[in-house]
Structure 1
Amino acid sequence: MGQKKTTIQISGMRCVSCGKTIEKALKKQPGVISANVNVATEKGIVEYDSNKISIEKIGETIRGTGYEPIGITHEDERTREISLKLTGMTCASCAAKIEKALNSVKGVRRASVNFATEKATVEYAPEVATLMDLRKTVQSVGYDISEEKEVDKSLVEMQRARVRMLVAWGFTIPIILWMLPEMIFGVAWPNWEIYNLGIILLAVPVIFWVGLPTLRAAAKTIYHKSTNMDVLIA
């Protein structure tokens, strides 16, 4: 018990003011010594006195500002996530056997094996378990590891954002091209009914799929009687 430092993964932030809102709310709580939120990494580092405030209360405070704490890591509980290329699997039961063995290793928080890609994703505490422990565990059930690669979570998130951007442009460019004759010549092709319906149908995926994270964040912010950039955009 006593003074602790915790790193919290926070979802829903879109701008610097989002981070400032969370920091301000946390610093008002009795027992919070310091709070620093980085919007770029979507993480908040909170130093607090566990005798005065619980981590659950800190999470509630963040939710109260309209954002969601999705992962909490204490200073002495840092984990590492790696991707392991496996060899020797011939069926789904092989993957299940490896997954069970890896999850039984002390220090492993989570392990999942994908038979189709022949890869295992393992989250573990490097202070407790080592890569050698993981390799020996896989070998003990009759398989092996041919490659080890650390998972870059920021890169995964960037790839998801790239997909959303491509989908957005894939629907937006046809909208722009279709609107040009109407904007320049005042002519809706082929007629006004089809033109209006087509524009709406093309806009729906952009607004309600690509823009879903923004709409959700805006709804949460309004629910908590606050405003931010998400509310302005929505």
Structure 2
Amino acid sequence: MAPAATKWSPQPRHLCNWLSANRPLYNRLRRSKSVKQPGSAAAETEPAQPDVERVLLDIQGMHCAACAVRVEKILSATDGVRKARVDLMTGQAVVECEPGRAAVEELTDAVRRGGYSARPVDQTAGLGGEMIRRERREATGWLRRLVVALALLVPLILVTHTRVLADPVLVWCQFALATPIQLYVGWPYLVGAWRRLRTGSANMDTLVALGTGTAFAAGLSGLMEARLGAVLSTIGGGMYFADAGMILTFITLGKYLEVKAKGRASEAIRRLLDLAPQEATVVRNGKPDRVPVAAVAVGQTILVRPGEKVPLDAEVLTGRSAVDESWLTGESLPVDKEPGDKILAGTINGPGALTARVVARAGQTALAQVIQLVRRAQESKPEVGRLADRIVAWFVPAVLALALATLLAWGALGGNWSLGLSCTIAVLVAACPCAMGLATPAAVLVGSGRGAEAGILIKEGHALEVAGRLTTVVLDKTGTVTLGRPRVVAVEPVDGVDPGELLGWAA
């Protein structure tokens, strides 16, 4: 066949599977005196840094950024804790403790005394799976409350604005529709506000409970006046019932959308979890047996059939095959494996069957380390996030003071207590500090998640801030910025050869 020249264009995908955005800085530090070379006399005589015990806690009861700030302060004040970071988006706290000084029970008790609940998370087992399941449960719960709120709010608004019923009957109907919204839909906010009150603190639940509770109480006042024959229009009557219902419905809609956004932001971890199978084929007495990967111990023999995903990191004992390791290396060509070679969890076995000895348990594989890296990047808090936390700590008390000033200004000075009450409710509800505390964590989650999907692993949220000021990016080789599979974009045959005929021969 006549020779032909082909051209192919690389498609961006992988910058590097273990990208370190601060490598130039690290190299400069290595050359300086601040970082000693391993094996040097200075390095050998330098005292070893004490180990740090890292505890991951699942926090329940946090509804706003003020909650996250309070839990972080509680954990940081616990004896033996060096550093604590609380992430509102993931609902988890990362606590760095001095070994042997801060027991997990002490940490959970401290959180419980603060009005929240906490439980330890096994960092080597779930790998984010429990967080994803919790997000699904939260989304289902908020969706159920939202459906109930909408089903009751629509007729409530209709009877309120159409005025098809006489005033006493109208207010009783409004009361019947608004009460389930206040008690069922608003129950999480009422419980949260009560817990904060018991601990002498305030958060978003306090603002919502005060705003909707005040509106509902005003509606009850109108109901009592209706029974006494008063003119409802003088105080707005049952309009307050509709106000309380609308406020709770829209805030619940926001909570549902917030939980859904958390789920989308955690998509990177979910996709990484899907790389490894949940079961492995263990060979016992020459017979294969399917068991959960968490039950497989180091040293056991597993069987990987052709086309299957490798469940755990292992060393090949028998068999030969080619394994697709593109999820880790970005290279599309399979890698030949023979006895003595290592296979990694999440990679795909080729045409041959392999038996291998497990060298790392679930939660300790290379894939698990990648997931942990993504999680730690999502848990990290950049400087702008810490600034938002400092603002939120003073935000809720300031809003409460402003709401009180609004009520007194309109009522005592303006002589219109009804309008003052409406303005006070508006201040309490509109000032909920959710967006302030969620903006930065959401940005870190989405940024690190999108990077993981593209093969870029970001070690900490601060790297995203630094990336915005980068002017030069140095890459180690061409293959790290290509799709890994060449694509023919043009055919240039020699003279006398038809391009279509040449493509037919190539096919």
TM-score by structure 1 length? 0.61
Q: Name 2:177's counterpart in structure 1.
A: 202
CA distance in 2, matches of 1:49, 1:196: 61
| CA offsets 1:26-53 (integer angstroms, 9 cap, x no match) | 1122211221111122111112124222
- Higher relative CO (CA 8 A, sep ≥ 6), structure 1 or 2? 2
Deviation at 1:171, TM superposition (A): 0.9
Q: Name 2:67's counterpart in structure 1.
A: 18
Q: Name 2:154's counterpart in structure 1.
A: 173
Q: Which of 162, 167, 172 is matched with 1:192 structurally?
A: 167
Q: Name 1:72's counterpart in structure 2.
A: 120
Size of the aligned set, in residue pairs, is: 158
Mapped pair 1:44 → 2:93: yes
SS at match of 1:41: coil
Mapped pair 1:160 → 2:135: no
| CA offsets 1:114-152 (integer angstroms, 9 cap, x no match) | xxxxxxxxx9xxxxxxxxxxxxxxxxxxxxxxxxxxx74
Q: Which has the larger radius of gyration?
A: 2
Mapped pair 1:6 → 2:77: no
Q: Which of 50, 63, 74 is matched with 2:112 structurally?
A: 63
The one-letter amino acid paired with 2:83 is S
Computed over aligned residues only, the root mean square deviation of the Cα atoms, in angstroms, reads 2.2
Mapped pair 1:233 → 2:208: yes
Deviation at 1:75, TM superposition (A): 3.4
Deviation at 1:20, TM superposition (A): 0.8
Deviation at 1:63, TM superposition (A): 1.8
Deviation at 1:160, TM superposition (A): 2.0
Q: Which runs of 5+ in 1 are unaligned?
A: 83-122, 124-150, 182-187
CA distance in 2, matches of 1:32, 1:168: 43
Deviation at 1:22, TM superposition (A): 0.7
Kept after mapping to 1: 8 A contact 2:159/2:165: no
Mapped pair 1:54 → 2:103: yes
Q: Percent identity?
A: 26
The one-letter amino acid paired with 1:54 is A
Q: Which has the higher strand share?
A: 1
Q: Name 1:141's counterpart in structure 2.
A: none
SS at match of 1:170: helix
SS at match of 1:176: helix
Deviation at 1:4, TM superposition (A): 2.1
Q: 1:50 and 1:200, CA in 2 relative to 1: closer, same or farther beyond 3 A?
A: farther
CA distance in 2, matches of 1:11, 1:198: 36
Q: Name 2:192's counterpart in structure 1.
A: 217
Q: 1:208 and 1:6, CA in 2 relative to 1: closer, same or farther beyond 3 A?
A: same
The one-letter amino acid paired with 1:206 is I
CA distance in 2, matches of 1:36, 1:202: 42
Kept after mapping to 2: 8 A contact 1:23/1:36: yes
SS at match of 1:217: helix
Q: Which runs of 5+ in 2 are unaligned?
A: 1-50, 210-507
| CA offsets 1:82-108 (integer angstroms, 9 cap, x no match) | 8xxxxxxxxxxxxxxxxxxxxxxxxxx
TM-score by structure 2 length? 0.29
